[in-house]
Amino acid sequence: MSVTTIPTTSGVPDTSDHVASTTPKVMVTGDIIFNTIGDVLVYAMLSECYTANDATASTIQYSVTNNTTTTSQTISAASASLANAAKGVSTLTQLGALTNAPAISNASGVGAFPWGAIRVAGNSSIKTVIGVGSTTGTWKHYVRWEPLENGAYITAAF
């Protein structure tokens, strides 16, 4: 697994924009997409289809694993089917209630963003939970966050 580098000043990540994103890849259940350093408040998560999916009726859900205690918890419900998702389709996740499923926006590059927030403890990993089977298309993931303590940030896992 490679780690996306964040520009640094004196060895400290520049996280002034409080956004992290991955590179596009096929989604597989259990993929770590983001890692937290310190406690953060996650406001928004979005996944965008970069190359089209086939007819596999996969779904996406997100979970967090605390790497210190090894406890895991889902942070969203599962989306509707991602079958035949075209390039540009995105899933928008309203955080704050575990019953909220990522909403699929079929308008390429457009979608109203539902807001909510969750606290994620430091030394945790945000992962994908893919129902049915891995996607065939590639997906890029985005997260918007705020630190809850000095030095806290999120990095992309790939």
First to last CA, the chain: 7
- pTM for the whole thing? 0.84
| pLDDT value of residue 9 | 45
| pLDDT value of residue 4 | 36
In the CATH scheme, what architecture does the domain 18-156 have? Sandwich (2.60)
The tens-digit pLDDT sequence of the chain (158 residues) is 333 334 444 444 555 689 999 999 999 999 999 999 999 999 889 999 999 999 998 999 999 999 999 999 999 999 999 999 999 999 988 787 778 888 888 765 555 555 678 999 999 999 999 999 899 999 999 999 999 999 999 999 99
Q: Taken in order 113, 95, 44, 89, is the CA torsion positive or negative? A: negative
- Each residue of 36-51: b (16+ CB within 10 Å) or e? bbbebbbbbbbbbbee
Q: What one-character DSSP code corresponds to residue 49?
A: E
| pLDDT value of residue 14 | 54
CA angle 9, 48, 116 (to 5 degrees): 75
List the chain domain ranges. Answer: 18-156
Residue with tokens 């520009």, as numbered in its chain: 7
